């Protein structure tokens, strides 16, 4: 992949040794983004385990993890680890499968690909990944050899983000509402109001 040589030149891989991973030290996935996928696909369950994340976060908005370029993870005992973004993660068919059985999760086998390609068409065509046209879900991060221990419940502070970066433009161009829960509530409320007014007549 072109990203390998590009990353070596621009320093993204500096001191980011890997263990038990084939590209980068950590893969961060966002529960809010998975919830957005479930709403887009009208499915009740989609296991995060299928995404093979090493760190799972739950932010206020879906997809905002793609805009983080540097984060600080802080534990209750005040230990801190700084991480820097390496690259968004293009997915193969594995996130479309049950991680235990290997069977596809849905009748529409590549549901994740279908949904994300429709919502974010340009994200499946990143020149840094060359001919690999997998849809993005999750972001690779590195710690540049910093020592530290992560715990469940640690807090994340975004030190730098890509406010005007290409990823945020993907979010703005999405074909679904950035806060789908509110959209559904508004639709339900509108339908109920319509039915009540009709009954009143």
Going residue by residue through the chain (201 aa), what tens digit of pLDDT does each one get? 566 666 666 666 666 555 545 667 789 999 999 999 999 999 999 999 999 898 999 888 899 999 999 899 888 888 888 888 888 888 888 899 998 999 999 999 999 888 988 888 877 777 767 767 678 899 989 876 677 788 888 888 899 887 644 444 344 333 333 344 444 444 444 445 545 555 555
Q: How far is CA 128 from CA 2, 8, 86, 98, 121, in A?
A: 5, 12, 11, 29, 16
Asked if 56 and 48 touch (Cβ cutoff 8 Å), the reply is yes
Count other C-beta atoms under 10 Å from residue 102's C-beta: 8
Dig out the tokens for 35 from the structure.
């919830």
Question: What is the reported pTM?
Answer: 0.71
Asked if 59 and 171 touch (Cβ cutoff 8 Å), the reply is no
Q: How far apart are CA 51 and CA 129, in angstroms?
A: 19
Burial category of 132 from C-beta neighbours within 10 Å (exposed 0-12, middle 13-18, buried 19 and up): middle
Output phi, psi for 200, to 5 deg. Answer: -60, -30
Q: How far apart are CA 192 and CA 200, in angstroms?
A: 12
Q: How far apart are CA 69 and CA 65, in angstroms?
A: 9
Output phi, psi for 122, to 5 deg. Answer: -75, -15
157-182 burial code (b ≥16 CB/10 A, e <16): eeeebeeeeebbebbeebebeeebee
């Amino acid at each position: 992949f072109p990203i390998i040589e590009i990353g070596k030149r621009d320093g993204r891989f500096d001191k980011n040794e890997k263990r038990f991973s084939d590209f980068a030290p950590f893969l961060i996935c966002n529960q809010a983004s998975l919830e957005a996928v479930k709403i887009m696909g009208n499915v009740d369950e989609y296991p995060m385990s299928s995404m093979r994340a090493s760190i799972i976060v739950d932010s206020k908005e879906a997809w905002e993890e793609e805009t983080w370029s540097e984060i600080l993870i802080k534990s209750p005992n005040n230990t801190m680890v700084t991480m820097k973004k390496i690259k968004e993660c293009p997915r193969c068919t594995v996130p479309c499968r049950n991680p235990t059985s290997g069977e596809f999760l849905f009748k529409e086998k590549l549901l994740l690909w279908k949904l994300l390609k429709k919502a974010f068409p340009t994200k499946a065509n990143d020149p840094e990944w060359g001919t690999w046209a997998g849809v993005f879900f999750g972001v690779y991060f590195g710690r540049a050899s910093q020592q530290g221990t992560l715990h469940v419940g640690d807090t994340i502070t975004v030190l730098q983000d890509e406010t005007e970066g290409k990823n945020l433009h993907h979010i703005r161009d999405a074909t679904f509402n950035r806060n789908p829960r509110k959209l559904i509530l508004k639709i339900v409320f509108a339908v109920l109001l319509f039915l009540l007014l009709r009954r009143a007549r």
